Amino acid sequence: MQIHPFDPSKTVSWANGTSTELFVYPPGGNFLTRDFMFRISTATVEAEETTFSDFSGLTRILLPLKGKLTLVHEGRYTKELEPFEQDQFDGSWSTRSKGKVQDFNVIFNKETLARVIHHHLTSSESKLIQEHESWHFIFVNDGIFEVNGQDLVSGDLVEFERIDKQPIEIKCIEEGNVLECMIHHSATDVLDTVYESISK
């Protein structure tokens, strides 16, 4: 388990707000040149309406952490998102948003697949994470939590290395919300599944 605390030095300004990179793979991947497999970040949107950049060849998962957001995918559909509701869409789509929010973003290329699950926990409540993907993360939005004897606070991103199939227990110390982010290398996982089937 590795904790990646919130790092203000990774916050950059853009036309309508700020963006903070929480994790990028491979290490040293470059967001501006699209030279990465996947990237996890948070952002603030300070304009009432924004137009998204073109991310052709990439898929995006976006959910507001604070505030309501409307995503308009031109010629496709419009989706209104309450906090922690999400939308997954093709980065090549012509997309604009309405609403001033703080949001959570996962963007990934065709070599990977990603999922994000929201968990709201009350004090003394626990959550067992049973699945283990190639990359497994927990992001603390608010509240205080404990994993493997270590306290986690708002802004922390926890990375779990895939070593065994033992469940991970998240204990809630102070009521709050966490996001579970699972990413796997599609080709590798398909081969693993085939191998397991043949072995049986």
Per-residue pLDDT tens digits of the chain, which is 200 residues long: 899 998 888 898 887 889 999 999 998 888 878 889 999 999 999 999 999 989 999 999 999 999 999 999 999 999 999 999 999 999 999 999 999 999 999 999 999 999 999 999 999 999 988 766 688 999 999 999 999 889 999 999 999 876 566 788 999 999 999 999 999 887 544 444 434 443 44
Q: How far apart are CA 108 and CA 112, in angstroms?
A: 6
Backbone angles phi, psi at 169, to 5 degrees: -100, 125
Which residue in 20, 95, 125 sits closest to 81, CA to CA? 95
- Token pair of 35 as six digits: 């030279």
- Pair (176, 95) in one structural domain: no
- Pair (42, 89) in one structural domain: yes
pLDDT at position 33 is 83
- Is residue 98, in this structure, part of any structural domain at all? yes
- Is residue 161, in this structure, part of any structural domain at all? yes
- Pair (83, 120) in one structural domain: no
- Pair (94, 156) in one structural domain: no
The residue type found at 74 is: E
Q: Based on the structure, what is the number of domains in the chain? A: 2
Q: CA triplet 40, 46, 51: central angle to 5 degrees?
A: 70
Q: CA triplet 158, 42, 98: central angle to 5 degrees?
A: 150
Q: Give the structural domain span for 78.
A: 8-108
- Pair (23, 48) in one structural domain: yes
Q: How far apart are CA 160 and CA 133, in angstroms?
A: 9
Query: How do the residues of the chain divide into helix, strand and coil, expressed in percent and rounded to 5?
Result: 10, 60, 35
Contact assessment for residue 182 and residue 89, using Cβ atoms and an 8 Å cutoff: no
- Pair (99, 119) in one structural domain: no
Instruction: Give the end of a domain, one of 52, 86, 108.
Output: 108
Please give the helix or strand (H or E) that residue 189 lies within, else none: helix 186-199
Q: CA triplet 159, 162, 168: central angle to 5 degrees?
A: 70
- Pair (104, 144) in one structural domain: no
Instruction: Give the end of a domain, one of 62, 89, 108.
Output: 108
- Is residue 119, in this structure, part of any structural domain at all? yes
- Pair (41, 116) in one structural domain: no
- Pair (14, 71) in one structural domain: yes
Strand order, beta sheet including 69-73: 49-51, 95-98, 69-73, 77-81
Contacts of 41 (CB under 8 A, 6+ apart): 19, 20, 21, 22, 104, 105, 107
Q: What is the CATH number of the domain that holds 164?
A: 2.60.120.10
Give the position of tokens 């996962």: 106
- Is residue 194, in this structure, part of any structural domain at all? no
